[in-house]
A and B are shown apart, each in its own frame.
Chain A
């Protein structure tokens, strides 16, 4: 702190303003971009971070992340979901995951993916997934 006294007051004030301005700019941009993405003000055509994380969690059978990003549920429903995830066939391997696009209206947004999966027996499937997101949580998967 003693060293600060060696800096001329004008420079000290200017440095403070630079730091405050930087923080306001960073936090303001983060807040605005999140608000715009969640409200769909610009059409919501870009991939949502929540949808992306949910999709990856779904394919990698991360039941904790699926529960965290999915709709709010009671403890019994969450336990059932964990059982469902653990009972899914383990030999299914995702080959490709392609984000096709999305749209939104108000707080509701839809994000669509195409997924190629293959089981160890060689069975191949080319499937679409449509995620409905409300308030940052995936409410429905079609």
Chain B
């Protein structure tokens, strides 16, 4: 009889636990509502993928062929203080009136060996990267 009682108490505790998790999942509002409209996501532009590949492969020659000096300097500012890029991830892009903003997150190390992440956005018009933020 006492083992049945213990099992019943344990079962109600576990039932409550599951109920608590479900209530949290239902009531959690996450990041909250966006009071503004959003643009639909678009696919990664090919020129952006080329730049990301060159960064991931530590390929300075490819980068210098793909970007002009002004854009390269903007990219340098955007990823500073990363000196050793270990990963590049395309996270999303949006397009409006032929202008694409493609966002990337770069992970790696700084000069003093600290692991950090930096986000940067390539501004693409046509098939050209016209700027980096």
Contact = CB atoms under 8 A, between A and B. Distances in A.
Interface of A: 10, 13-15, 17-30, 33, 45-49, 51-53, 56, 59, 94-106, 108-112, 114, 116, 126-128, 130-132, 142
B30 A17 contact: no
B19 A25 contact: yes
B9 interface: yes
Contacts of A94: 36
Contacts of A56: 32, 34-35
B123 to A, nearest CB: 8
A49 B31 contact: yes
B88 to A, nearest CB: 10
Interface string B64-78: 000000000000001
A21 B30 CA distance: 23
A100 B117 contact: no
Nearest to B39: A98
B31 A110 contact: no
A105 B38 contact: no
Interface centre among B21, B31, B99 (most CB of A within 10 A): B31
B20 A100 contact: no
B12 A14 contact: yes
Contacts of A51: 31
B43 interface: no
A27 B21 CA distance: 8
A21 B115 contact: no
A115 to B, nearest CB: 8
Given A97-B38, A103-B117, A114-B94, A25 B16 contact: yes
A62 to B, nearest CB: 12
A90 to B, nearest CB: 17
25 contacts: A10-B5, A17-B9, A17-B10, A20-B16, A21-B15, A21-B19, A25-B17, A25-B20, A25-B21, A25-B24, A28-B21, A29-B20, A49-B30, A56-B32, A56-B35, A96-B36, A96-B39, A99-B34, A99-B92, A100-B103, A114-B39, A126-B101, A130-B121, A130-B133, A142-B133
Contact of A47 (B10, B14, B30, B118): B30
Contacts of A126: 96-97, 99, 101
B15 A18 contact: yes
Contacts of A33: 24, 28
